[in-house]
A and B are shown apart, each in its own frame.
Chain A
């Protein structure tokens, strides 16, 4: 009896590793701390009312942001651990198995639980404000998306202490990730967590597509939309068509693992390569999902801080749409070395290279937006300027990879690792940080401290080059990715050492960001104008933070850079006064159901991981019931009276 329990426990909990015990203890401590603080300050009700049940896009955005930063930290710690293991040859800081788990969770978390929520944070916070809408098209669905993401992230993270983490890489190729070679529940965690967050992402894609297509303020034609909104539209289109493929790939692999199917097994006709094919059918578009919104942010930031209109707006739009569509025609470049034949490789190599053309156009247009402008070096602009050379190199190495015969030499080497960190960090992370600095005042009414921000910037940026430039070299020297250790004699030691130093510098940069946020919350400059940067787009016409209904009156848009136009008119002494009377505003009700629904999804996922089918079935029923209950719910919104609105606006001093 006792023996059985012990046996169970040792399979259920990950035992025997001091680092994991440490993690267990710290997780318990953190949970305990949170519970204590909430109880002590009697904040449970507040938490439920203001956050867990909210359907307000701005709050959902903030929650995405917090989650993304936490995941950046988690993924970053993973990175630091890996780099420490690789700092010298034959290190025994991490065991092979542990290293494998760490790079798998690092890649998975960084892409799906850091980059994705970070772009969702920016989308949520900004898009409705930029297009003059009161919320997204489907606020309730939006809350579901967030909570699905959140609990999926929890599901994946919990694997570290319960059951064991996935260890087959973020790409999770079978047969290695199949049941034959990987019995453990780790892979199940991967599959179910991604599946759940994938559903949420798909819903977000639809939501923002509809929002942008149909909820723009009168007068805002498509060609008057801010470029960030355009980039989100393009990213949404990619999400809509790419994520279903991931859903299928994961489902089939899960069927292989749990139901004994033979899609990707190596016997009874299965073909593991089909998984690789499906994975990248999603995987390649995915990387543009995470980089296009960053492009959008850079467009906003560059125009604002150069105090100039965006150069070549039409080209900017055309290139984003082109990237979105072409991104579906390139996926084979991730497996040129599979031997699918020269015809296949040629087609997909050329399609891949073509993406460099619209991307290049964007780079030139950014440069010429600055040209003959007046560049103000605030933090967002600093990141935007650092992005250009960084991404240009990363993109150029991407083009080098896309040359199929050359890729036979680069594939799966550190050259590839360097390429994608350069575009993911130099593109996505820099973009999201620029966006965070840019819109922080809009979110919280606080401007982040410049001086600490510069320290963070320089550490992170220099650290980046120190960390990743040597990796190109390592790739050329024949070092392959996913090696937990290497021996002397290959000449890799020096470059790995330098690279690790760079990683530490990036870590310090991140610490500065944390300090900066803390410091600014306590002592930071408050933004009372609502327009600290002299912005060009509509979100800056609102007070910071914006009232929950966003716009007391829906603005009429007369041109591109809507807010700038109004300010210009005012500067010329033509006071554009809002004289329309307030009207009652229709607002969606808060609801606890998205949260509950997602908890049920979590329970479902967790029980599927351990194949506890009865519990999974119960959770599934719960999910169905909450969907049915929603279907019967008719009073899903309420009306704000003119009185209330006037009251709020007066408090902001805006009547």
Chain B
């Protein structure tokens, strides 16, 4: 199978939705570098905030969860190229992930709520 050369020739420069920016020409994977940097910054930030207890616990928890979610998007966007559409009927895997995220949140939040056994006042 040497059709690969032909294949690459045909797609050079636009082989990948994200890598196909102008930067691509310089052979530097800028997108990956940006993604990696952001994720490092987010992680360090979260760690720092917790170790220094900079804000009240409840707010802090909200903040680090927000950072985690942000970072998940960074992975999805910069590394997993979720926004690319090479597959026919492109957005369906995004829908499935969205449903998955919905049920993830539901399962976790609802379980905590249920298992708190009526801590709500009545």
Seen from chain A, the residues whose Cβ lies within 8 Å of a Cβ on chain B are 209, 213-214, 237, 240-241, 245, 271, 273-274, 277, 281, 325, 328-329, 332, 339-344
Which partner residue on chain B sits nearest A328 by CB separation?
B103
Which partner residue on chain B sits nearest A342 by CB separation?
B122
Contact sample, A vs B, 22 pairs, CB 8 Å cutoff: A214-B89, A237-B96, A240-B96, A274-B111, A281-B107, A325-B99, A328-B103, A332-B110, A339-B117, A339-B118, A340-B115, A340-B117, A340-B118, A341-B118, A341-B120, A342-B122, A343-B118, A343-B120, A343-B122, A344-B113, A344-B114, A344-B118
Tell me whether B100 is interfacial, beta carbon within 8 Å.
Answer: yes
How far does the alpha carbon of A343 sit from the alpha carbon of B118 in the complex, in Å? 8
Kindly supply a per-residue 1/0 record for chain B positions 11-23, scoring 1 wherever the CB is within 8 Å of any chain A CB and 0 otherwise: 0000000000000
How far does the alpha carbon of A117 sit from the alpha carbon of B48 in the complex, in Å? 53
Most buried by B among A241, A274, A342: A241
Which partner residue on chain B sits nearest A343 by CB separation?
B120
Q: Nearest Cβ distance between residue A425 and chain B, in whole angstroms?
A: 29
Q: Contact: B103 with A241, CB < 8 Å? A: yes
Q: Contact: A241 with B120, CB < 8 Å? A: no
Asked, given contacts A214-B89, A328-B103, A328-B106, whether A341 binds B117 with beta carbons under 8 Å apart, the answer is yes
How far does the alpha carbon of A332 sit from the alpha carbon of B31 in the complex, in Å? 45
Note all chain A residues with C-beta closer than 8 A to B115.
271, 273-274, 277, 340
Asked, given contacts A277-B111, A344-B113, whether A213 binds B118 with beta carbons under 8 Å apart, the answer is no
Which partner residue on chain A sits nearest B87 by CB separation?
A214
How far does the alpha carbon of A611 sit from the alpha carbon of B99 in the complex, in Å? 38
How far does the alpha carbon of A213 sit from the alpha carbon of B111 in the complex, in Å? 32
How far does the alpha carbon of A186 sit from the alpha carbon of B27 in the complex, in Å? 61
Tell me whether B88 is interfacial, beta carbon within 8 Å.
Answer: yes
How far does the alpha carbon of A8 sit from the alpha carbon of B54 in the complex, in Å? 63
Which partner residue on chain B sits nearest A209 by CB separation?
B96
How far does the alpha carbon of A286 sit from the alpha carbon of B22 in the complex, in Å? 50
Asked, given contacts A245-B107, A281-B107, whether A332 binds B114 with beta carbons under 8 Å apart, the answer is yes
Which partner residue on chain B sits nearest A281 by CB separation?
B107
Q: 6 closest pairs, A vs B, by CB?
A: A341-B118, A340-B114, A343-B120, A241-B103, A344-B114, A213-B92
Q: Nearest Cβ distance between residue A649 and chain B, in whole angstroms?
A: 29
Q: Contact: A237 with B99, CB < 8 Å? A: yes
How far does the alpha carbon of A348 sit from the alpha carbon of B117 in the complex, in Å? 14
Tell me whether B119 is interfacial, beta carbon within 8 Å.
Answer: yes
Contact for B122 among A209, A273, A341, CB less than 8 A: A341
Contact for A342 among B99, B113, B118, CB less than 8 A: B118
How far does the alpha carbon of A328 sit from the alpha carbon of B100 in the complex, in Å? 11
How far does the alpha carbon of A213 sit from the alpha carbon of B92 in the complex, in Å? 8
Identify 16 new A-B residue pairs, CB closer than 8 A, beyond the known A240-B96, A277-B111, A329-B106.
A213-B92, A214-B88, A237-B96, A241-B99, A245-B107, A271-B115, A274-B115, A281-B111, A325-B99, A339-B118, A340-B118, A341-B119, A341-B122, A343-B118, A343-B122, A344-B118
Note all chain A residues with C-beta closer than 8 A to B120.
341, 343
Q: Contact: B100 with A241, CB < 8 Å? A: yes
Note all chain B residues with C-beta closer than 8 A to A277.
111, 114-115
Note all chain A residues with C-beta closer than 8 A to B103.
241, 328
Which partner residue on chain A sits nearest B120 by CB separation?
A343
Note all chain A residues with C-beta closer than 8 A to B107.
245, 281
How far does the alpha carbon of A325 sit from the alpha carbon of B99 in the complex, in Å? 9
How far does the alpha carbon of A209 sit from the alpha carbon of B93 in the complex, in Å? 11
Q: For residues 79 through 122 of chain B, which have their beta carbon under 8 Å from a beta carbon of chain A? A: 88-89, 92, 96, 99-100, 103, 106-107, 110-111, 113-120, 122
How far does the alpha carbon of A372 sit from the alpha carbon of B20 in the complex, in Å? 59
Which partner residue on chain B sits nearest A332 by CB separation?
B114
How far does the alpha carbon of A628 sit from the alpha carbon of B113 in the complex, in Å? 43
Q: Nearest Cβ distance between residue A242 and chain B, in whole angstroms?
A: 9
Note all chain A residues with C-beta closer than 8 A to B117.
339-341
Q: Nearest Cβ distance between residue A202 and chain B, in whole angstroms?
A: 13
Q: For residues 56 through 75 of chain B, which have their beta carbon under 8 Å from a beta carbon of chain A? A: none
How far does the alpha carbon of A271 sit from the alpha carbon of B107 in the complex, in Å? 17
Note all chain B residues with C-beta closer than 8 A to A274.
111, 115
Most buried by B among A245, A274, A342, A344: A344
Most buried by A among B89, B99, B103, B118: B103
Note all chain B residues with C-beta closer than 8 A to A245.
107
Note all chain A residues with C-beta closer than 8 A to B118.
339-344
Asked, given contacts A240-B96, A332-B114, A341-B120, whether A213 binds B106 with beta carbons under 8 Å apart, the answer is no
Q: For residues 7 through 39 of chain B, which have their beta carbon under 8 Å from a beta carbon of chain A? A: none
Which partner residue on chain A sits nearest B92 by CB separation?
A213
How far does the alpha carbon of A339 sit from the alpha carbon of B113 in the complex, in Å? 12
Q: Nearest Cβ distance between residue A241 and chain B, in whole angstroms?
A: 5
Which partner residue on chain A sits nearest B113 by CB separation?
A344
